[in-house]
Structure 1
Amino acid sequence: MRRIHLILRRLVLLAAFLILALIGYGYVRQGSQHLPWTDLDLAQPVGLFTGRKLAALTHEPDRCRALLKRAGIAYTPVEPGGSGQCRYSDAVRLKSQEGSARLSPAVVAPSCPVVAALKLWEWHVVQPAAQQTFGQAVRSINHFGAYSCRRLYGRPQGDFSEHATADAIDISGFTLADGRRISVAADWSGGGKDADFLRRVRKGACQFFATVLSPDYNAAHRDHFHLDQAERGAFGWRGCR
């Protein structure tokens, strides 16, 4: 019994040390976004818990839209629609802004948490990677859509896809400032700069989305990146393949 108490005491001390170390790390890095209990701010540098805070916005649509506005992201709210398992209530449509990549086609209206993650991904991963790889910006992020009332993989039974609530978007590629297109279907396995760019932005998306699936996952994703904000709790699993 004494040995068990000693082990428990050491575990408590270790947990306390880790919490203090996390707090210290957050302050040393001069950013409260590294701390799990601070409020999300899209205009601040990305922190260790930014991705989980983004996913948690699925339950706070008003707060999510306020964060978009505060960060200077122009959008138009979309009226709730659908029904049952396919109901969406917090979709927004991005407006064109100078110096920012547009979604193409522009009619897409993902949920607010997906849009928030898309913008952080663009700012912190996509545009820097394009400049470093190609020496130019990304003009548009191309996609296959966001909302779709269907089950996973289009099966007749089983769990519904995150697309059924507009909490996902399928990215098919990118168009550079000079008009050249980088396609997941054509360039993922082609080697060279285009493939390196796609792998870099796929990996970077894992900071901001609860689930990131690419051609490395299975044949169903051979031509796109599936990005979603499935809310699995503060310490739920996150998928990145």
Structure 2
Amino acid sequence: MPSRLRLAVISSAALALALALALTGCRSADLSPSDAPSPDGAVRVVEPAAPDAGVEPDAFVPPVDEPSVRIDSPSDGAVFVQDEIVEGDWAARVTFSVSASDVARVDVWADDDFLLGDVVDGALTYWFRGEGLRRIAAIGYDAAGVELARDEITLTVEPPGDTSCHAMLDALGVDWEAAGPTRGIADPVRVQPVINGVAFRYVSRSEPTAMLMDCELAIRLSRLTEVILPYGIDELIHIGIYNYRCIGGGDPDSGTCTPSQHAYARAIDIHAFGLAGTGDTYSTETDWVITRRADECPIDATGDKDRILKEIACTMWAEGIFQIVLTPNYNAAHRNHFHVDLSEGSMYLGQGVS
């Protein structure tokens, strides 16, 4: 072949190779000597070298989950109104729904320093009795108690529109009606005899009957039912509520004696408690065992019935359901009942005899 023609063929082959490299994004500098065109214009393709034996490519490493906590509800800035009664106070019920991952436990705190409780099965319910703006934090911890993650919101607790005693009776579900003006009673109401599933019956009657009392006493009796229901009690047998008289007898209007809280319908004398479905009772007259004076709890007890009566007496006092709690230990006049009342400024457990 003439030299000019041979050079033209070689040049054409080189040009074609260069064009192919440009289209594939390769650079001529990336070619090894063996990739260069041969003198006859052909291009030799060299296969890439196989990796060395025993060398594995990099294994896939899955991403590591970070510990997380999220308050799913309520939403940030939510407002709750106090519309329930808890231990005699208005309260707003708030249920926190919390999701978390890679933490041992989650606690919910209010205002940085008050523990509301632990999250169980993704939820926690708390009743707020204080009003105003509350800062809430859900904090996730490891097994050693070290904080790993948190989420925060704010919520506002507002008081009810009506904070009266009557509104509180409605919130408690008490069946009541206003009574007419009655001497000595500041806020007279007539309450139907079943409160929170407990029937209130006067000792000499076979059936429960409606009760005349001050509105505040009705609230306290509702609280009392929460104390006695866990014992299986569904009946409270009493000796009386309203009696316009002085302590030990006499006319309050005489000015010569101290009016009893019965004169204001702010006291009740409890004789016994009835057990649901059994016809049995816990009687202050027959089951309470008199002990020596010791005006503090717990009170020495003998037998289950005596113990339960004394536990109820101590709980009524310790939880502030009543300001005065006099037991059969107090004196001969109280051997067959608990006298409990709402004497303002008092907090006395009179349960011992000298």
* Contact 1:121–1:204 under 8 Å retained in 2: no
1:154 is matched by which residue type in structure 2? G
Match of 2:312 among 198, 201, 209: 201
Q: Give 2:347's aligned residue.
A: 238
Counterparts of 2:180 and 2:264, CA distance in 1? 13
Give the secondary-structure state (helix, strand or coil) at the position aligned to 1:231.
coil
For 1:152-163, list aligned pairs within 5 A. 152-154=247-249, 157-163=256-262
Deviations 1:102-135 (A, max 9, x none): 1103233221111111111211x1112x1xxxxx
Identical columns (%)? 28
Aligned twin of 2:43: none
**1:209 shift after superposition:** 0.8
Q: How far apart in 2 are the matches of 1:98 and 1:150?
A: 27
What is the TM-score when the length of structure 2 is the normalising length? 0.46
Structure 1 position 76, deviation (Å)? 2.4
Alignment check: 8 A CA contact 2:193 2:210 kept: no
Runs of 5+ unmatched residues, structure 1: 1-22, 39-61, 131-136
1:218-240 CA-to-partner distances (Å, cap 9, x unmatched) read 222111111111222xxxx3111
In the other structure, the counterpart of 1:45 is none
Report 1 or 2 for greater relative contact order, CA contacts < 8 Å, sequence distance ≥ 6. 1
Following superposition, which runs of at least 4 residues in structure 1 exceed 3 angstroms of deviation? 23-27, 29-33, 96-99
SS of structure 1 residue aligned to 2:180 = coil
CA distance in 2, matches of 1:90, 1:202: 27
Query: Which residue number in structure 1 is paired with residue 240 of structure 2?
Result: 145
**Structure-2 change in CA distance of 1:230 and 1:26 (3 Å):** farther
Shift of 1:77: 2.2
Cα displacement string for residues 128-154 of structure 1 (whole angstroms, at most 9, x for unaligned residues)? 2x1xxxxxx222101011111111122
Q: Does the residue aligned with 2:211 lie in a helix, a strand or coil?
A: coil
Q: Structure 1 residues 200, 80: closer, same or farther in 2, change over 3 A?
A: same
Map 1:191-230 to 2 at 5 A. 191-206=302-317, 207=319, 208-230=321-343
| Count of residues paired in the alignment | 177
* Bigger Cα Rg: 2
1:79 touches 1:89 (CA, 8 Å); kept in 2?
no
5+ unaligned residues in a row in structure 2: which ranges?
1-109, 117-125, 132-162, 203-208, 291-301
SS of the residue 1:223 aligns to: coil
CA contact (8 A) 1:111 1:166 kept: yes
SS in structure 1 opposite 2:222?
Answer: helix
Preserved contact between residue 195 and residue 222 of structure 2 (Cα < 8 Å) = no
8 Å Cα contact 2:174/2:195 also seen in 1:
no
2:277 is aligned with 1:168: no
SS in 1 for 2:213: coil
Structure with the larger helix share: 1
Question: Are the equivalent residues in 2 in contact too, given 1:26–1:32 (CA < 8 A)?
Answer: no
Q: Which amino acid aligns with 2:225?
A: E
Task: Return the alpha-carbon distance in structure 1 between the equivalents of residues 112 and 262 of structure 2.
Answer: 36
More strand by share: 2
Name 1:126's counterpart in structure 2.
228
Once the two structures are TM-superposed, the CA of residue 96 in structure 1 deviates from its matched residue by 5.0
Aligned CA RMSD, in angstroms, stands at: 2.6
How big is each residue's C-alpha offset from its partner over 1:169-224, in whole Å with a ceiling of 9 and x where there is no partner?
Answer: 11111111121122101111183111111001111111211111111222221111
TM-score norm. by structure 1 comes to 0.65
Q: Please point out which of 155, 172, 191 is paired with 1:94.
A: 191
